[in-house]
C-alpha cells in the first residue's frame, strides 16, 4: 500500500513539477495534503485558501487538495513537503516538533491561558516570524496557522476528577516528545501514534483515552468509542500550513504575496467557522453519540505539569520563541 502511495506521489510530483515549469499555460499547480475528512472545518478553510489563491492570481496558481490522509500520516507528508513531492501540507504544530524543536513549545501544557489570548498572540508578525522562517534548512517554511481548538482529555469509560485518576491510563498522544512528557507528568501511560490509527486502536481496547478538540469525537468518530470528555484544557496547539521552501522561492514576489494573502485571509475566515463547528460537534456528540461532557477542576492537572513548563525556561532550542510568546502574552493582557 505504502509503495503504491509513493508511486502515486512520484507521478503527482512529476506532474506538479511539469505544471510548475510549463510556460505555455502560465499556470502552476501545487499539491496540498492533510489528514482530515472533507466535512471537517479545517478542510473547508483549506478550500477557502485554494479559492482565494485562484482568485488573486487570476487562475495562475492552482491547488490540488488531497484530504483524509490519502498521501500518508502527518509525519509522512511533512517528509514529502521537505522533498517537494508535495508543496503544501497542513499539520499540527506537535507533528513539526521532531523536525524543528522550536515547535515543541506549542505542545507545552497551559502555554496559553485562553483561546482569545492564543488567537491574539498567533496573529502577531514577530511571533509568526520566530517560527515560520526558522525552518528553511529543514526544507519548508510556515505560511499561516489555523485554530485547531483547545485540547481536552477523553476516555472510553474512566471518570477523571484529578490527574491521579489518569494512573495507568493508556493515552494516545501525538508523536511529540513534549506530549509524551505531559501525559507522563499527569500520571498516565502515553502512547504516541498517528491520528489515523486512533479510532481503531481505541476500539480494539489497546487505548483507554486520547486528547483532542471536540470535532475528534464527531468528524473522526472517536465519540463512538470514547464516552467521557473532560475540559482539562491542557493545550492549545495550532495547525500550521507549511510550504516547500524551493517551491516558494521559485515564485515571483507577486505570487508569494498572493500565497501569503490568500493564506492569511483563509485563517481569518476559519475562526468563526471553527467556533460554530465545535459547538455543533459537542451537541452531536452529546445527543447522538451519548458522550458526557464533564467540567473538571484543572488545578491539580496544572500543578502536575509545572516542572515540564519550567523546563522550557531553560531550553535553548525554544528560548527565543518562549520569551517572545511570554512577552506577547503580557502585552496582550495589558491591552485587554
Ligand atoms: C488535531 C489536528 C490534526 C492532528 C490531530 C492529532 O485534530 O488538527 O492536525 O493530526 O489533532 O491529534 O493528531
Distance 291 CA to ligand 1 centre (A): 20
Ligand 1, pocket-test mutation among 88, 239, 242, 273, most atoms within 8 A of CB: 239
Closest CA to 188 of 210, 214, 205: 210
**What whole-number distance in Å separates Cα of residue 82 and Cα of residue 311?**
30
pTM of this prediction? 0.94
Which pLDDT tens digits describe the chain residue by residue (336 residues)? 444 454 455 545 444 443 443 334 689 999 999 999 999 999 999 999 999 999 999 999 999 999 999 999 999 999 999 999 999 999 999 999 999 999 999 999 999 999 999 999 999 999 999 999 999 999 999 999 999 999 999 999 999 999 999 999 999 999 999 999 999 999 999 999 999 999 999 999 999 999 999 999 999 999 999 999 999 999 999 999 999 999 999 999 999 999 999 999 999 999 999 999 999 999 999 999 999 999 999 999 999 999 999 999 999 999 999 999 999 999 988 887
Q: Is the CB of 173 under 6 A from ligand 1?
A: no
Q: Which phi and psi angles does 236 have, rounded to 5°? A: -125, 100
Contacts for 278-286 with beta carbons within 8 Å, 24 or more apart? 278/149, 278/213, 278/214, 278/215, 280/218, 281/213, 281/214, 281/215, 281/217, 281/218, 281/219, 282/214, 284/218, 285/214, 285/217, 285/218, 285/223, 285/229
Rounded Cα distance between 245 and 242, Å, is 9
Q: What is the pLDDT of residues 231-281, one digit of tens each?
A: 999 999 999 999 999 999 999 999 999 999 999 999 999 999 999 999 999
In tens, the pLDDT along 88-107 reads 999 999 999 999 999 999 99
**Percent of the chain residues past pLDDT 90, beyond the cut:** 90
Amino acid at each position: 500500500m505504502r509503495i503504491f502511495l509513493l508511486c502515486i506521489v512520484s507521478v503527482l510530483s512529476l506532474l506538479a513539477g511539469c505544471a510548475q515549469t510549463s510556460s505555455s499555460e502560465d499556470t502552476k499547480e501545487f499539491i496540498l495534503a492533510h489528514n482530515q475528512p472533507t466535512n471537517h472545518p479545517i478542510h473547508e478553510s483549506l478550500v477557502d485558501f485554494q479559492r482565494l489563491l485562484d482568485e488573486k492570481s487570476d487562475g495562475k496558481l492552482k491547488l490540488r487538495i488531497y484530504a483524509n490522509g490519502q498521501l500518508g500520516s502527518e509525519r509522512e507528508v511533512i517528509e514529502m513537503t521537505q522533498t517537494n513531492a508535495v508543496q503544501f501540507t497542513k499539520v499540527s504544530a506537535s507533528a513539526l516538533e521532531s523536525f524543528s524543536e522550536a515547535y515543541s513549545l506549542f505542545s507545552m501544557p497551559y502555554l496559553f491561558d485562553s483561546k482569545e489570548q492564543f488567537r491574539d498572540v498567533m496573529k502577531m508578525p514577530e511571533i509568526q516570524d520566530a517560527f515560520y522562517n526558522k525552518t528553511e534548512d529543514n526544507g519548508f517554511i510556515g505560511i499561516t496557522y489555523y485554530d485547531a481548538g483547545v485540547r481536552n482529555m477523553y476516555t472510553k469509560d474512566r471518570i477523571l476528577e484529578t490527574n491521579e485518576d489518569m494512573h495507568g491510563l493508556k493515552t494516545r498522544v501525538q508523536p511529540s516528545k513534549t506530549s509524551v512528557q505531559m501525559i507522563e507528568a499527569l500520571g498516565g501511560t502515553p502512547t504516541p501514534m498517528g491520528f489515523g490509527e486512533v479510532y481503531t486502536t481505541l476500539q480494539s481496547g489497546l487505548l483507554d483515552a486520547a486528547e483532542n478538540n471536540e470535532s475528534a469525537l464527531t468528524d473522526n468518530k472517536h465519540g463512538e468509542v470514547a464516552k467521557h470528555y473532560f475540559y482539562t484544557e491542557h493545550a492549545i496547539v495550532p495547525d500550521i500550513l507549511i510550504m516547500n521552501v524551493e517551491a516558494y522561492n521559485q515564485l515571483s514576489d507577486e505570487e508569494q504575496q498572493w500565497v501569503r494573502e490568500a493564506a492569511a485571509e483563509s485563517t481569518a475566515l476559519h475562526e468563526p467557522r471553527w467556533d460554530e463547528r465545535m459547538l455543533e460537534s459537542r451537541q452531536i456528540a452529546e445527543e447522538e453519540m451519548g458522550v458526557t461532557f464533564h467540567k473538571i477542576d484543572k488545578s491539580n492537572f496544572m500543578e502536575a505539569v509545572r516542572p515540564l513548563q519550567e523546563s522550557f525556561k531553560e531550553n535553548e532550542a525554544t528560548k527565543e520563541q518562549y520569551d517572545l510568546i511570554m512577552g506577547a502574552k503580557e502585552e496582550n493582557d495589558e491591552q485587554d
